[in-house]
Structures are given as structure tokens and as C-alpha cells.
Amino acid sequence: MSFKEDTVVYLDDICIPHSWESVIKNINDKLYFKVYKINVLPEVEYNLVAAIEAGNYTGGDLAAEIQTELNSVIPITASPNLFTCSYVVKTNKITISINNPAFAFRIVTQPELKTIVGWNGI
């Protein structure tokens, strides 16, 4: 395309494609959680870290990756395949369920993480 020497051009719109990874190494790639064996004395508690592989994920793919990583760090004596993760498109949420009624879990918040002594996995 060519224009005359005195032609004026205005840039009205520009599109520069770029995307960021949904999981970034050493930024948001770890999920800290506690698993409890309930109704036993002494109480059994596991402090665990699941490392999610960096990359771009759809909701379903991220749920599958979280499930794989959660189950990979559970001690063998606890329960294999303890977790199931599912993604609900309509709400854009991932649900983490525990498959054994003898166990409970919770995700540790960042402020709590700073106060836990002897975290095994950091």
C-alpha cells in the first residue's frame, strides 16, 4: 500500500495479542493444605504442599492437574486417590472433594502459613 507524501493517518485501534500463564512458577504454583484423620487418637495431621505445573489451563484441565498433584503428595498410609476435583463451567469454580469419610482437609491461607512451625514441604 502506498500513500501520497502529505497523507495523514490516524491509528484508531490496535490489537496486540498476548496471554499470561494461569499458573506461574514460584508465583502461584503451590497449594498448601492440611489433611486430618478424624475420630482417632492421637489426631493424625499431614501438612502438605501440592506443586502445580506452570502453564495455561482451561478450568477442567486445571481441576485435573490439581487433583493429580493433591493425590500425588498424600502419604501412602493415608488413602490413595483421596481427592476428586471438578470444574463447573457455569460458576467458573473448582470444587475439591475428599473421598474418604475418615479424613478432612482444609487449604491453608497465606497468613496462617507464616505462623506454622515445622511445615514439611516448603
- C-alpha cell of residue 25: 512458577
Could you tell me what percent of the chain has a pLDDT over 70?
Answer: 93
The whole-number pLDDT of residue 8 equals 85
Displacement of CA 41 from its chain's centroid (Å): 31
Could you tell me what percent of the chain has a pLDDT over 90?
Answer: 48
Beta bridge partners of 83: 98
Q: Distance between CA 13 and CA 60 in Å, rounded? A: 34
Q: What is the pTM of this model?
A: 0.76
The whole-number pLDDT of residue 76 equals 66
Which stretches within the chain are classed as H helix? Answer: 59-72, 110-115
For residue 23, pLDDT beyond 50: yes
- C-alpha cell of residue 51: 506443586
Task: Band the pLDDT of 66: cuts 50, 70, 90.
Answer: very high
- C-alpha cell of residue 58: 482451561
SS (H, E, C) 87-100: EECCCCEEEEEECC
Angle at 107 between CA 54 and CA 28, to 5 degrees: 25
Q: Distance between CA 111 and CA 16 in Å, rounded? A: 38
The whole-number pLDDT of residue 122 equals 45
Task: Band the pLDDT of 64: cuts 50, 70, 90.
Answer: very high
Q: What is the chain's mean pLDDT, rounded? A: 86
For residue 39, pLDDT beyond 90: no
